Amino acid sequence: MPFMIDTGATKTSIPEKYARAAGLPVGGAVQAETAGGRVTDHQTRIASLKLGNLELRNLDAHINRHLDEVLVGMNTLKYFRIEQNGDSLVLMAAGVS
């Protein structure tokens, strides 16, 4: 799935079309503040999310009907060490060198 790193997002958010295709459970409605204003998302839980060599299990996320790509939020990024060097941003699993 196409994604964007969003350090301003508390939770990882999945576009509705991708959540449906992945068979993610649709939970209760929640209000979320976005750059475009307040929206109603739905809670979900991702059983397994792989980014590079790191696999996260049972990750809380939101389903958002307005997105075209996954927004990887801080609840996912906390498992990575992030390094920026010039035009490059490198994510490495925390504790891995």
Mean pLDDT taken over the chain: 92
The whole-number average pLDDT for the span 7-29 is 96
How many structural domains comprise the chain?
A: 1
Of 77, 80, 5, 66, residue with least CA distance to 32? 66
**pLDDT given for residue 53 in this prediction:** 81
**Strand partners of residue 71:** 4, 13
Domain that holds residue 50: 3-93
59 versus 96: the higher-pLDDT residue is 59
pLDDT, tens digit (0-9, with 9 covering 90-100), for 37-85: 899 999 999 999 988 888 999 999 999 999 999 999 999 999 999 899 9
Domain with 59 in it: what CATH number? 2.40.70.10
**pLDDT given for residue 52 in this prediction:** 81
Q: Whole-model pTM?
A: 0.87
